[in-house]
């Protein structure tokens, strides 16, 4: 009954409920607000020094955000493309090496299990990044195929570098050739005796990049960017600032703006891609993928029950978690994310509505806002209009070559 | 001679729950308890100075919070304390910890299987979905599907609606869950033997079935549908041991004028013209009342306390064949100091939860094989806890009370009655297993209470020592519990009711049978309860 020392050491995890990310030694001294919280069991910050100012770093200079806790799977082998084509709703055979797909995957009933980004690193080498964990689902999908699937969340550190000067920062840091990256394109660059993968992607709707390195090279990558960013207004930011930017960009968050199929306790809470604004991802020409027949049947039979919309709301009080009404009376949905947008100068929200409200019936929508003001609720009924997402569309996001600010 | 409105035979938790509701509704109730203390299988007794044992039941989750509230149990001293996780010790010197913290739990599972670690969420969701369906049924009288009375029809409609809300996939999942073995069920989610052993525990506890027996998946569900303060599936300690539950129930009952007579063993239910009119005590005294309620199990009630000739043949036949197979024993141990388990890292919180030594389902099933052969398990399954790691009221500082629930343990040893020598040998297998994982364990033992089915039957009155007053198999649930046609707490004898765990929804210190029985008795008496809340919304 003696256990080998490695196994014994692995037992010790229980002493640390929230694990530090590979960037923690650099980030911790910066986090003046000490507003730590847990993301997938790792220690991350709500804000670093002032979430308002951090937001403006995203929109005016450059922001560095630690995305290491994002769940990452590596899918490799001759059948990797076939496996992912069966898993996801988009056509992976059309995804070239060096490209990134925003995608989603469904259970057999066509209900969304998660959304995420798929990086094609090689002909038979992919990385899938997402919010929730799916190892059993992925392994089941891969059954009978020549493919290896591994969770690599801990081994790979990730940073999001976002904002108008993000290209200037990378350029200054010496990543030659990064100017050639178009949106959703990735490339490998030399770093610290190894490689860093840089993609022109992000969650802000702004010019921006995401960088992935082995956890052992995390600190040297941080230092390289930090030094390069000194004259370009680079700031570390927390999730709250990022969240504002992502709402402006109209992006949705799994288990924030929709409930994933594997976590829903109540049968009516699950959603098909068409019910969370992801219908454009579904490639119906693809012969087979998980949930295909259910999605097609729902479209044909008109049984889609919900729709996810962007709302613009009168006045300036954010309508977080507010109920949406039609004609001031009938309850038709719920707001899952809402802010006053500093860049659009509009009061915006993402909402899930019951069809036909939000799909066919767009007028006479109202939002019930309870604003707690000095121990008294100000109850308001405000007019809401369905508008296009993104709420903020920035030319610099997709400009080629990227601008320096 | 005192005349009462209601006689309650037995002061177990369900008897005291029913008595509490009836007394509060305005009936004059007397509880007749054969022991010199109340509590039935929810007692805390001081058998050695300074130590309180949870003599039978030892953890709390199923006891309905609505009852705690209706009967004001917190005001009468009841506190339930949550605890954090537990551990399964493995033969290779490792252990699998379980934690309330989701990520710690996942990381711990990942040490044994990365796949299982991520499969746990789906498993947990599926079990919770089933609990959400079944939990509201606990606090409702099961409908009689063949009575065609409006009440039963409306209750059937309620059930049908709930089924209707489920959807085909959920309903298929439910039917499978209610009929599968826990081993087959877990195989659909997990690959690690020790993870499966850890999760199968709730499927076998208190049941004369092995992990590979069909029906054990439902037993798991039964253990998951409780809660501590809204946290569904969580278990906790009653502060002061499980006797704190019945102590509070008794105090609540007495505070509204109820009478409890201990040392009053009921010998017979007295009937006149087919109606129960009172009871005869073992000492020859008689107590009369308009209604008699039995908290004893269905066999003890109808085969011992009632004359068989007063009952229909078919009913007696059914009662005789109601499965009440004892499968477990219990060791309550007073310890001079906290035992050490070298496999656990220093300061592990797992010591405060439930600990086990059975690290795969094969061993669990072999333990059951011994039971089938009429022997106690040579390699028993133990559900071991040290409540004094969290509860300062049960032992002096630095000393500890350890509760060991042990399976399997047959009601008879190879067809003959238990002897004291058998009992001691049974205890030795348990102490020896613990000692394998805890050096010096024996030296810490100051006092020990050993309970085989023989002691459980003789003292608590549980036939064959079955802790649920009857197996929780699907043939004995809902409108089939305990006897088809008599699942609504009434009996073939007018004025005689049963309210123990033999009735819907079964055992586990839930209190729901007692509460539901009180509702039916009050309905017959054309009275209304002072306060009887509907089941809380689930989650």
Alpha carbon distance, N-terminus to C-terminus of chain A: 63
Closest CA to A148 of A126, A178, A123, A180: A126
Distances, alpha carbon B382 to alpha carbons A62, B130, B198, B357, B411, in Å: 59, 27, 12, 7, 18
Distances (CA, A) of A280 to A89, A103, A140, A249, A283: 10, 10, 26, 17, 8
How far away is chain B from the Cα of A267, in angstroms, using its nearest Cα?
Answer: 7
H/E run at residue A331: strand A330-341
Q: CB neighbours of B33 closer than 8 A, spacing ≥ 6?
A: B10, B11, B260, B261, B262, B263, B264
Any domain includes B282? yes
Q: Which pair of tokens denotes residue B490?
A: 């009434």
What gap in Å lies between CA A142 and CA B113, rounded to an integer?
18
Please state which of the four CATH numbers 3.40.50.300, 3.30.1360.120, 3.90.1150.50, 3.40.50.11900 is assigned to the domain occupying A5-70+154-237: 3.30.1360.120
A374 touches chain B (CB under 8 A): no
Strands (E) in B264-359, as ranges, are: 266-272, 275-281, 286-294, 328-335, 354-356
Portion 326-385 of B in contact with A at CB < 8 A: 343, 345, 348-349
Q: Left (φ > 0), alpha (ψ -120 to 50) or beta: where does A200 sit? A: beta
pLDDT at B1: 61
Confidence at A1, pLDDT banded by 50, 70, 90: low
A3 contacts chain B (CB < 8 A): yes
Mean pLDDT across chain A, nearest whole number? 97
The residues facing B275 across adjacent strands are: B272, B494
Q: If pLDDT is split at 50, 70 and 90, which confidence band does B414 have?
A: very high
How far is residue A226's CA from residue A135's CA, in Å, rounded to a whole number? 35
Residue B357 in domain: no
Neighbours of B367 (CB within 10 A): 23
Q: Are the beta carbons of B82 and B231 closer than 8 angstroms?
A: yes
Q: Quick check: A267 contacting B, CB < 8 Å?
A: yes
- Whether B312 maps to a domain, the answer reads yes
Q: Is pLDDT above 80 for A328?
A: no
- The rounded mean pLDDT for chain B is 95
Tens digits of residue pLDDT in B487-496:
999 999 999 9
What residues does each domain of chain A span?
5-70+154-237, 71-151, 267-271+305-387
Give the Å distances, CA to CA, from A400 to A82, A182, A210, A395, B395.
Answer: 32, 7, 17, 10, 75
Best residue of A136, A140, A151, A270 to probe chain B, by most B CBs closer than 10 Å: A136
Structure tokens belonging to residue B377: 């398990």
Q: Is the pLDDT of residue B136 over 90?
A: no
Q: Kind and range of the H or E element at B321?
A: helix B313-321
CATH, residue B317: 3.50.50.60
Q: Which residue in A15, A40, A262 is closest to B121 by CB distance?
A: A262
Task: Return the ∠ at Cα A232 (arms to A229 and A234), rounded to 5°.
Answer: 55
Average pLDDT score over residue span B90-99: 96
Closest alpha carbon within chain B to A260: B122
Which of A1, A18, A135 is opposite residue B92, by nearest beta carbon? A1
Residue B533, min C-alpha distance to chain A (Å): 24
Is B187 an 8 Å CB contact of chain A?
no
Q: Which two tokens stand for residue B62?
A: 């199923």
For residues A368 and A324, give the distance between their C-alpha atoms in angstroms, rounded to a whole number. 7
Residue B101 within a domain: no
Tell me the per-residue pLDDT of B347-401, one tens digit each, with 9 for 90 and over.
899 999 999 999 999 999 999 999 999 999 999 999 999 999 999 999 999 999 9
Produce one character per residue of A304-322: b if its CB has 16 or more CB atoms within 10 Å, e if not: bebbbbbbbbbeebbbeeb
- Residue carrying structure tokens 């399976």: B407
Known binding-site residues of A equal: 210
Strand, helix or coil for residue B417: coil
* Extended beta strands in A2-93, E state: 36-39, 42-45, 62-66, 71-76
Q: Which of A309, A305, A333 is nearest to A321 (CA)?
A: A333
What pLDDT is attached to residue A175? 98
Residue A405 has pLDDT above 70, yes or no: yes
In the numeric block, the tokens 């959603």 are attached to A271
Find, among B396, B299, B404, B416, the residue nearest to B357 by Cα. B404
Q: Which residue of A has its CA nearest to B539?
A: A265
Q: What percent of chain B has pLDDT above 90? A: 86
Contact yes or no for B465/B326 (Cβ under 8 A): yes
Q: Looking at the partner chain, which of B93, B102, B118 has a beta carbon nearest the beta carbon of A2?
A: B93
- pLDDT confidence of residue B137: 86
Q: Give me the residue from A1, A38, A136 closest to B93, CB to CB.
A: A1
Does A177 contact chain B (CB < 8 Å)? no
Q: Report the pLDDT value the prediction gives residue B447, as an integer from 0 to 100.
A: 98
B-chain residues within 8 Å CB-CB of A267?
Answer: 165-167, 170
By Cβ distance, the residue of B92, B115, B167 closest to A3 is B92
Nearest-CA distance A150 → chain B (Å):
9
Confidence band for B161, pLDDT divided at 50, 70 and 90: confident
Output the CATH code of domain A71-151.
3.30.70.1400
Residues 6+ apart with CB under 8 A from A54: A47, A48, A63, A235, A237, A238, A240, A241
H or E segment to which residue B168 belongs: helix B168-179
Distance of CA A351 to the CA centre of its chain: 17
The DSSP code sequence of A374-396 is SS-EEEEEEEEEEEPSPSS--HH
CA–CA separation, B216 vs B178, rounded Å? 8
* pLDDT at residue B282, rounded to an integer: 97
Q: Which residue has the higher pLDDT, B84 or B363?
A: B363
* pLDDT tens per residue across span A167-182: 999 999 999 999 999 9
pLDDT value at B163 more than 80: no
3-state DSSP assignment of residue A73: strand
| Residue B401 DSSP code | E
A6 touches chain B (CB under 8 A): no
What average pLDDT does this structure show over B188-215? 96
* Rg (alpha carbons) of chain A, rounded to whole number: 22
* CA-based nearest residue to B514, from B245, B293, B232: B293
Query: Can you tell me which residue has the tokens 């809204």?
Result: B230
CB contact under 8 A, A14 and B104: yes
C-alpha R_g of chain B: 22
What is the Cα–Cα distance from A312 to A346, expressed in whole angstroms?
Answer: 7
Q: Quote the CA–CA distance of B385 and B53 in Å, as a whole number.
A: 12
The reply to whether B499 falls in a domain is yes
Model ipTM value = 0.93
Contacts of B95 in chain A (CB under 8 A): 11
pLDDT band at residue B313, thresholds of 50, 70 and 90? very high
Q: What is the pLDDT of residues B240-299, one digit of tens each?
A: 999 999 999 999 999 999 999 999 999 999 999 999 999 999 999 999 999 999 999 999
Number of C-beta neighbours around residue B522 at 10 A: 20
Residue B231, chain A, CB below 8 Å: the answer is no
Number of domains chain B is built from: 1
Tokens (6 digits) for B502? 């033999």
Mean pLDDT for B29-41 is 97
C-alpha angle B98-A2-B96 in degrees, rounded to nearest 5:
10
Q: What are the tens digits of pLDDT across the range A118-162?
A: 999 999 999 999 999 999 999 999 999 999 999 999 999 999 999
Reading phi first (left if > 0) and then psi (alpha if -120 to 50, else beta), residue B334 is in beta
**Taking CB atoms and an 8 Å limit, are A265 and B129 in contact across chains?**
yes
The residue in chain B having the minimum alpha-carbon distance to the alpha carbon of residue A8 is: B94
pLDDT confidence of residue B228: 81
Is the CB of residue B487 less than 8 Å from the CB of residue B480?
A: yes
Cα B258 to Cα B15: distance, rounded to the nearest angstrom: 12
Report strand pairing: B286-294 vs B3-9: parallel
pLDDT of residue A149: 98
* pLDDT of amino acid B3: 86
- Residue B420 CA to residue B418 CA, distance in Å, equals 7
Q: Is A120 exposed, middle or buried (0-12, 13-18, 19+ CB in 10 A)?
A: buried
Q: Which residue of A has its CA nearest to B106?
A: A41
Find the CB nearest A12 among B102, B125, B345: B345
Is B294 among the domain residues?
yes
Residue B538's pLDDT is what?
67
Q: How many CB pairs under 8 A join A and B?
A: 74
Looking at residues B119-133, what average pLDDT do you find?
90
- Residue B539 has a pLDDT of 59
Q: Residue B295 belongs to what domain range?
A: 3-43+63-80+239-322+474-524
Binding site residues of A for substrate, as ranges?
210
Contact B250, B261 (CB under 8 A): no
pLDDT in tens, A179-190: 999 999 999 999
Residues linked to residue A36 through DSSP beta bridges, in sequence order: A45
For residue B436, CA distances in Å to B120, B362, B409, B446, B459 come to 30, 19, 20, 19, 31
Q: What is the CATH number of domain A267-271+305-387?
A: 2.40.30.110
């Amino acid at each position: 009954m003696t256990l080998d020392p490695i196994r014994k050491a692995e037992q010790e995890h229980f002493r640390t409920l929230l694990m530090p990310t590979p960037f923690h030694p650099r980030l911790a001294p910066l986090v003046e607000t000490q507003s730590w919280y847990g993301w997938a069991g790792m220690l991350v910050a709500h804000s670093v020094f002032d979430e308002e100012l951090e937001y403006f770093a995203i929109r005016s200079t450059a922001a560095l955000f630690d995305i290491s806790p994002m769940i990452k799977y590596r899918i490799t082998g001759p059948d990797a493309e076939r496996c992912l084509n069966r898993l996801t709703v988009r056509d992976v055979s059309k995804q070239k090496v060096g490209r990134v797909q925003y995608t989603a995957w469904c259970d057999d009933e066509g209900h969304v299990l998660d959304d995420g980004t798929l990086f094609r690193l090689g002909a038979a080498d992919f990385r899938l990044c997402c919010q929730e964990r799916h190892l059993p689902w992925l392994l089941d999908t891969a059954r009978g195929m020549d493919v290896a699937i591994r969770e690599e969340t801990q081994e790979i550190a990730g940073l999001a570098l976002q904002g108008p000067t993000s290209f200037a920062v990378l350029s200054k840091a010496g990543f030659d050739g990064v100017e050639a990256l178009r949106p959703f394109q990735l490339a490998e660059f030399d770093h610290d005796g190894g490689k860093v993968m840089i993609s022109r992607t992000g969650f802000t709707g702004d010019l921006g990049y995401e960088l992935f390195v082995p956890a052992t090279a995390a600190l040297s990558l941080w230092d390289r960017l930090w030094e390069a960013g000194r004259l370009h207004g680079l700031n570390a930011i927390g999730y709250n600032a990022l969240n504002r930017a992502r709402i402006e960009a109209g992006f949705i968050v799994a288990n924030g703006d929709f409930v994933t199929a594997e976590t829903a306790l109540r049968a009516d809470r699950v959603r098909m891609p068409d019910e969370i604004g992801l219908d454009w991802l579904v490639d119906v020409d693809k012969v087979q993928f998980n949930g295909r027949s259910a999605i097609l049947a729902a479209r044909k039979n008109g049984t889609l029950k919900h729709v996810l919309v962007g709302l613009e709301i009168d006045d300036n009080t954010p309508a977080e978690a507010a109920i949406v009404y039609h004609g001031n009376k009938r309850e038709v949905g719920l707001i899952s994310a809402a802010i006053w947008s500093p860049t659009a100068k509009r009061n915006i929200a993402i909402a899930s509505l019951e069809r036909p409200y939000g799909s066919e019936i767009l007028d006479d929508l109202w939002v019930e806002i309870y604003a707690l003001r000095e121990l008294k609720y100000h109850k308001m009924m405000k007019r809401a209009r369905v508008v296009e997402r993104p709420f903020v569309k920035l030319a610099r996001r997709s400009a080629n070559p990227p601008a320096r600010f | 001679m005192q005349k009462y409105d209601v006689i309650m035979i037995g002061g177990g938790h369900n008897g005291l729950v029913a008595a509490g509701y009836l007394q509060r509704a305005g009936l004059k109730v007397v509880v007749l308890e054969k022991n010199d203390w109340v509590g039935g299988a929810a007692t805390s007794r001081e058998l050695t100075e300074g130590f309180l044992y949870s003599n039978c039941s030892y953890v709390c989750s199923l006891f309905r919070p609505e009852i705690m509230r209706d009967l004001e149990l917190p005001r009468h001293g009841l506190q339930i304390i949550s605890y954090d996780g537990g551990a399964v010790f493995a033969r290779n010197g490792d252990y699998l910890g379980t934690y309330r913290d989701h990520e710690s739990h996942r990381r711990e599972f990942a040490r044994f299987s990365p796949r299982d670690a991520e499969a746990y969420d789906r498993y947990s969701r599926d079990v919770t979905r089933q609990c959400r369906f079944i939990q509201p049924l606990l606090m409702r009288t099961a409908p009689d599907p063949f009575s065609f009375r409006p009440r039963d029809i409306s209750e059937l409609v309620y059930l049908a609606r709930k089924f209707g809300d489920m959807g085909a996939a959920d309903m298929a999942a439910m039917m499978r869950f209610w009929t599968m073995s826990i081993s087959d069920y877990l195989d659909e989610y997990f690959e690690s033997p020790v993870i499966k052993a850890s999760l199968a525990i709730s499927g076998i506890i208190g049941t004369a079935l092995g992990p590979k027996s069909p029906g054990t998946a439902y037993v798991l569900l039964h253990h998951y549908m409780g809660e501590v303060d809204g946290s569904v599936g969580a278990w906790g300690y009653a502060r002061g041991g499980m006797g704190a539950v019945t102590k509070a129930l008794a105090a609540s009952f007495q505070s509204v004028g109820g009478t409890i007579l201990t040392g009053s063993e009921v010998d017979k239910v007295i009937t006149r013209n087919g109606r129960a009119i009172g009871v005869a005590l073992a000492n020859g005294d008689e107590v009369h009342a308009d209604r008699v309620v039995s908290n004893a199990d269905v066999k003890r009630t109808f085969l011992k306390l009632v004359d068989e000739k007063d009952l229909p043949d078919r009913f007696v036949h059914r009662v005789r064949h109601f499965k009440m197979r004892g499968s477990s024993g219990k060791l309550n141990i007073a310890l001079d100091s906290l035992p050490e388990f070298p496999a656990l890292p220093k300061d592990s919180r797992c010591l405060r939860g439930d600990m086990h030594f059975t690290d795969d389902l094969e061993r669990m099933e072999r333990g059951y094989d011994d039971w089938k052969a009429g022997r106690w398990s040579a390699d028993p399954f133990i559900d071991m806890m040290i409540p004094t790691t969290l509860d300062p009221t049960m032992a002096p500082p630095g000393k500890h009370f350890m509760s060991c629930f042990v399976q399997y343990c047959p009601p008879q040893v190879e067809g003959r009655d238990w002897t004291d020598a058998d009992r001691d040998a049974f205890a030795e297998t348990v102490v020896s297993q613990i000692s394998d994982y805890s050096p010096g364990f024996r030296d810490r033992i100051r006092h020990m209470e050993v309970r085989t089915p023989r002691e459980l039957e003789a003292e608590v009155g549980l036939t064959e020592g079955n802790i649920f007053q009857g197996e929780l198999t699907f043939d004995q649930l809902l409108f089939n519990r305990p006897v088809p046609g008599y699942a609504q707490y009434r009996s073939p004898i007018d004025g005689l009711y049963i309210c123990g765990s033999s009735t819907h929804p079964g055992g586990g210190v839930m209190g729901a049978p007692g509460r539901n029985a009180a509702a039916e008795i009050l309905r017959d008496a054309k009275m209304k309860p002072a306060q009887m809340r509907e089941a809380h919304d689930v989650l």
